[in-house]
Amino acid sequence: MRRLLAAGHTVTGYNRTRHKAQWLLDLGMRWGDTPRQVAEGAAVTFSMLTDSAALRAVAEGPTGIIAGLGPGKVYVDMSTVAPQVSREVARAAASRGALMLDAPVSGSVSTLEEGNLSIMAAGDRGVFDRVKPILQAIGPKVTYVGEQGQAVLMKIATNLSLAVQMLAFSEGVLLAEKSGIRREVAVEVLLNSVIASPMVKYRGPFVLRMPEEAWFNVAMMQKDLSLALDLGRQLSVPLLTTASANELLTAARSMGFEAQDFAALFDVLRRLAGMEGR
């Protein structure tokens, strides 16, 4: 929203918890009392929700986004949900004469602040070309993926690697630390090695100190891994490392780490290795 406002767009917004949007109102965003009211006054409507149930709650019903759509309008959903749910919402939008793209983002708090989010989009190619300049105001890298639902599928395929990479990084740090190498030294070596992906570089230091507020918590990451595993079963694709990471996230929840960043995988492994807390 902030980037759309900075680019000169007129933005009307809605949040189920209004006070969370106050900072955007302070920047000049207008307020809509319902999702329907926002969609009625906009040529392009965006949504970004936590899961499929939240998307349905905001998109459907008499006060939902779909009720405010009409011929010529575009609906862009940036949530990470099951592809089938995205397609069902798209069909509902089409029944109102509108067209929908699924366009989730890939990035973190740091990439958002730096303006380096990447966006993957799917749906009608003509609609994509029409709204691409608006998407580029949000993130500089915008890629067309294919037909409706394939962008959220691509996002799920991307996110499973986040947990798997963090798990592998944590294993390496713990192996080094338990052998007598200082954890700080192990982290420095790994972050300057060939295994240091962009994600590992910004989240790896969390094994030294967790952020006060989770960038992407255990519960949200497990939601995405569950979507990936469901798709793997449907498509007969074995997701072995994803399944392992998912089970350790279950352990993280049982240990009380549900609201912490999913880098808490390190703490789970630490306990399993018989090591004291950090």
**Of 186, 166, 169, whose CA–CA distance to 178 is shortest?**
186
* pLDDT mean over 254-270: 96
pLDDT in tens, 99-150: 999 999 987 666 666 667 899 999 999 999 999 999 998 888 999 999 999 9
The per-residue b/e assignment along 46-63, b for 16 or more CB within 10 angstroms, e otherwise, is: bbbbebbeebbebbbeee
Average pLDDT of the residues of the chain: 93
| Measured distance CA(188)–CA(209) in Å, rounded | 14
CB atoms within 10 A of CB 24: 18
User: Which entry of 20, 132, 155, 178 is annotated as an active-site residue?
Assistant: 155
| Residue 9 binned pLDDT confidence (cut-offs 50, 70, 90) | confident
* Side-chain-side CA neighbours of residue 42 (13 Å): 29
What are the residues facing 121 on neighbouring strands?
144
Q: 15: which DSSP letter?
A: -
First vs last C-alpha separation in the chain:
37
Helix (H) or strand (E) segment spanning residue 146: strand 141-146
pLDDT in tens, 59-81: 999 999 999 999 999 999 999 99
pLDDT at 113: 62
Q: Under a CB-based contact definition with an 8 Å cutoff, are residues 260 and 240 in contact?
A: no
Q: Which range (7-11, 27-31, 87-91, 261-265) has the least confidence?
A: 7-11
* pLDDT mean over 12-29: 88
- The domains located in the chain, with CATH, are 2-148 (3.40.50.720), 153-272 (1.10.1040.10)
| Measured distance CA(231)–CA(269) in Å, rounded | 27
The answer for residues whose C-beta is within 8 angstroms of residue 216's C-beta and 6 or more apart is: 108, 162, 261, 262
| Measured distance CA(81)–CA(30) in Å, rounded | 27
| Per-position DSSP letters for 70-133, written without gaps between them | -TT-EEEE-----HHHHHHHHHHHHTTT-EEEE--EE--HHHHHHT--EEEEES-HHHHHHHHH
Please indicate whether residue 141 is annotated as part of the active site: no
Angle at the Cα of 147 (from 235 to 153), degrees rounded to 5?
45
pLDDT in tens, 147-199: 999 999 999 999 999 999 999 999 999 999 999 999 999 999 999 999 999 99
CA-to-CA dists, residue 112 to 2, 125, 134, 137, 223, angstroms: 11, 26, 16, 12, 21
